[in-house]
């Protein structure tokens, strides 16, 4: 891919803007609350777009196009089934407790609802996970730009890390959120032309469909049996594993996305953040997944476009679907915009992880366990130092990933084990007043162990079965969904049983933390069309229609 002067100019203009945002916001950052929580002052439209943008890193953008090329429109399940319902649940039922409890983070909610050991477990695993995720983003960016532009690994790593460090150190969370919103518009406006051009080149949507295998243009029709579709999953695994456990476990408990709603100006905005975000989220498959289908259709139609192959010369390199389409269709100018969008999404993914890390480190680990009674100025300094540490650790992780790629797969697997049972803990904590601290903690540990056991006793595509091989799944995706189901169920049952026999908090201590013990006067006074549930129902209906159209 050859870049012209105009392409480099657009990339430079973007860098100037993101750094400039950091410098301007710096003047307003005076307290740790300003730096780490934006002083809970962000308008609804910004929190809504940042909410989906925080999950729109380049690994998602590149990965979704790759999945689109490999699995077809079934990839939309990650949005229409694997995101929307959970986002609606978060907004309608869970945000009142996250926001109303005045918790500054998800682990802090766990401390208030349960105890310090549950908070500590969640905080430490989350902190480690975000740093590794940030480093993996950096590694993926450097590898991609090495392939498509010939930039050295070191140049990409230090350029991206340096720019993210500047604007997050100066402006904190607000700076990261602003850039996420800018990134959202860049991705939509930078990649949408590609979709239009690709569909036009393929002969319209009918031309795309004509040149794709039948299962690739249906989301649900071939899910009766795992053998019938390329994903290797059946409808039950998809609905329960992705649609319920993994989806709710991520969208309802991961502090990286929940933080974007927690910094809203008031309760109503906090509740509406994921609900408003659901509207553009519904449409994102048309921007990020369609390019993958278009790539396969264009190749099948012998249009002159060819999907790049892996070094073995046999396997298509689906990860290169989007970059190769950019190179094929975009002239210099809009090419610079497309690449800036990719760069922006990598950097925002990194910035989002680092800002989530520095909040959890400062409030949930440092303030809770090391120096609890320091001045706010001290915690502001700690937050800034945590930002620097987060960036340095991300760079180190990127190099680790370069040297030991399997370690990254292993770490992601372990974090998957830890994440899988989380929703059971939160669900029981928020909606069953009798859930105890010991029930929550040991349930979490038990759920994590169940996840590891399931992986150790089952095989999929040569992975797992390190204890014994009791069952073989069609695909690793099917295995991951079953791991999530087992972890959730184990955590749920263990938490319930242990709670029955252990001491619980006084109900007076649980007001604002548990649904049944929290008065809801605001909701009662609102007109029906202003209630969050009304917005949620509208989104659900639209999502259902989309699933029907692409059945």
Helix H or strand E segment including 466:
none
Nearest approach, Cβ of residue 2 and another protein (Å): 12
Which residue stretch of 28-36, 92-100, 378-386, 457-465 sits at the interface with another protein (rule: CB under 8 A)?
A: 28-36
- Structure token pair of residue 141: 């960016």
Residues 49/344, Cβ–Cβ less than 8 Å: no
Q: Report the DSSP beta bridge partners of residue 472.
A: 459
Q: Does 3 bind another protein (CB under 8 A)?
A: no
Residues 516/39, Cβ–Cβ less than 8 Å: no
Exactly one of 29, 219, 245, 290 binds another protein (CB under 8 A); which one? 29
Q: Does 185 bind another protein (CB under 8 A)?
A: yes
CB of 7 or CB of 364, closer to another protein: 7
Exactly one of 19, 182, 411, 459 binds another protein (CB under 8 A); which one? 182
Which residue stretch of 25-33, 429-437, 504-512, 536-544 sits at the interface with another protein (rule: CB under 8 A)?
A: 25-33
Q: Does 123 bind another protein (CB under 8 A)?
A: no
Q: Does 469 bind another protein (CB under 8 A)?
A: no
Torsion of CA 160, 330, 285, 401, to 10 degrees: -30
Q: Does 273 bind another protein (CB under 8 A)?
A: no
Three-class SS state of 252:
coil
- Structure token pair of residue 319: 């990860």
CB of 262 or CB of 334, closer to another protein: 334
CA distance 512 to 515: 8
Which residue stretch of 3-11, 145-153, 203-211, 280-288 sits at the interface with another protein (rule: CB under 8 A)?
A: 3-11
Q: Does 152 bind another protein (CB under 8 A)?
A: no
Nearest approach, Cβ of residue 224 and another protein (Å): 42
φ, ψ dihedrals at 514, nearest 5°: -125, 140
Q: Does 103 bind another protein (CB under 8 A)?
A: no
CB of 102 or CB of 200, closer to another protein: 200
Nearest approach, Cβ of residue 24 and another protein (Å): 5
Total residues binding another protein (CB under 8 A): 36
Nearest approach, Cβ of residue 186 and another protein (Å): 8
| Sheet order of strands, 471-473 included | 463-464, 458-460, 471-473
Q: Where are the alpha helices (DSSP H) in 312-433?
A: 321-329, 334-359, 376-403, 405-419, 422-431
Instruction: Enumerate residues 323-382 that contact another protein by CB under 8 A.
Output: 329-334, 337
Nearest approach, Cβ of residue 276 and another protein (Å): 15
Instruction: Enumerate residues 37-76 that contact another protein by CB under 8 A.
Output: 38-39, 41-43, 46
Nearest approach, Cβ of residue 204 and another protein (Å): 17
Q: Does 28 bind another protein (CB under 8 A)?
A: yes
Instruction: Enumerate residues 472-531 that contact another protein by CB under 8 A.
Output: none
Alpha-carbon separation of residue 364 from 121, 171, 393, 415, 479 (angstroms)? 10, 21, 19, 19, 33
DSSP string for 325-359 = HHHHHPPTTHHHHHHHHHHHHHHHHHHHHHHHHHH
* Sign of the dihedral defined by the CA atoms of residues 128, 134, 140, 146, in that order: negative
Nearest CA to 218 among 64, 377, 72? 72
* Sign of the dihedral defined by the CA atoms of residues 550, 325, 55, 46, in that order: negative
CA distance 123 to 199: 45
Q: Does 12 bind another protein (CB under 8 A)?
A: no
Residue in the structure block whose two tokens are 């969904």: 481
Half-sphere exposure of 332 toward its Cβ, with a 13 Å CA cutoff? 9
Exactly one of 8, 12, 13, 409 binds another protein (CB under 8 A); which one? 13
Exactly one of 25, 391, 437, 539 binds another protein (CB under 8 A); which one? 25
CB of 207 or CB of 439, closer to another protein: 207
Which residue stretch of 32-40, 55-63, 97-105, 486-494 sits at the interface with another protein (rule: CB under 8 A)?
A: 32-40
Give residues in contact with another protein (CB under 8 A).
Answer: 4, 6, 9-10, 13-14, 17, 21, 24-25, 28-29, 34, 38-39, 41-43, 46, 171, 174, 178, 181-182, 185, 189, 193, 197, 265, 329-334, 337
């Amino acid at each position: 891919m050859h870049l012209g002067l105009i392409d480099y100019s657009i990339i430079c203009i973007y860098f100037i803007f993101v750094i400039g945002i950091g410098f301007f916001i710096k003047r307003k950052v005076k307290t740790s609350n300003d730096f780490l929580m934006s002083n809970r002052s962000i308008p609804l439209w910004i929190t809504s777009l940042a909410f989906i943008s925080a999950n729109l890193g380049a690994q998602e953008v590149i990965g979704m196009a790759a999945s689109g090329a490999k699995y077809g429109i079934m990839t939309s399940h990650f949005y229409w089934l694997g995101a929307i319902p959970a986002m609606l649940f978060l907004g309608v039922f869970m945000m009142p407790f996250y926001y109303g409890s005045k918790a500054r983070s998800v682990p802090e909610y766990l401390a208030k609802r349960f105890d310090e050991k549950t908070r500590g477990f969640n905080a430490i695993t989350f902190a480690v996970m975000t740093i590794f995720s940030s480093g993996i983003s950096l590694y993926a960016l450097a590898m991609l730009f090495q392939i498509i532009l010939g930039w050295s690994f070191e140049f990409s790593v230090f350029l991206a890390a340096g720019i993210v460090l500047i604007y997050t150190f100066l402006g904190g969370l607000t700076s990261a959120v602003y850039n996420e919103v800018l990134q959202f518009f860049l991705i939509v406006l930078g990649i949408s032309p590609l979709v239009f051009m690709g569909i036009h080149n393929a002969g319209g949507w009918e031309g795309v469909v004509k040149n794709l295998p039948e299962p690739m243009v249906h989301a649900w029709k071939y899910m009766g049996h795992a053998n019938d579709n390329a994903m290797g999953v059946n409808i039950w695994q998809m609905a329960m594993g992705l649609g319920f456990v993994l989806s709710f476990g991520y969208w309802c408990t991961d502090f990286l996305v929940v933080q974007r709603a927690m910094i809203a100006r008031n309760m109503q905005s906090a509740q509406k953040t994921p609900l408003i975000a659901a509207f553009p989220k519904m449409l994102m498959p048309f921007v990020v997944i369609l390019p993958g289908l278009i790539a396969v259709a264009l190749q099948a139609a012998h249009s002159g476009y060819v999907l790049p192959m892996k070094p073995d010369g046999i396997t298509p390199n689906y990860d290169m679907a989007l970059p190769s389409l950019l190179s094929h269709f975009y002239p210099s100018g809009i090419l610079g915009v497309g690449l800036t969008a990719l760069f922006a999404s990598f950097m925002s993914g990194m910035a989002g992880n680092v800002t989530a890390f520095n909040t959890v480190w400062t409030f949930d680990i440092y303030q809770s366990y090391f120096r609890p009674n320091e001045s706010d100025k001290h915690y502001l300094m700690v937050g800034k130092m945590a930002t620097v540490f987060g960036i340095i650790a991300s760079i180190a992780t990127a190099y680790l990933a370069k040297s030991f790629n399997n370690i990254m797969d292993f770490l992601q697997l372990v974090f998957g084990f830890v994440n899988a049972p989380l929703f059971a803990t939160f669900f029981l904590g928020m909606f069953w007043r009798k859930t105890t601290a010991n029930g929550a903690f040991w349930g979490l540990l038990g759920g994590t162990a169940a996840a590891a056991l399931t992986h150790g006793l089952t095989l999929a595509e040569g992975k797992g079965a390190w204890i014994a091989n009791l069952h073989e799944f069609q695909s690793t995706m099917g295995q991951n969904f079953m791991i999530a189901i087992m972890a959730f169920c184990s955590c749920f049952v263990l938490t319930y049983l242990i709670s029955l026999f252990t001491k619980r908090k006084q109900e007076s201590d649980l007001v604002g933390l548990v649904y049944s013990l929290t008065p809801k006067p605001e909701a009662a006074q609102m007109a029906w069309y202003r209630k969050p549930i009304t917005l949620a129902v509208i989104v659900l209906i639209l999502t259902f229609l989309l699933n029907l159209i692409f059945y």
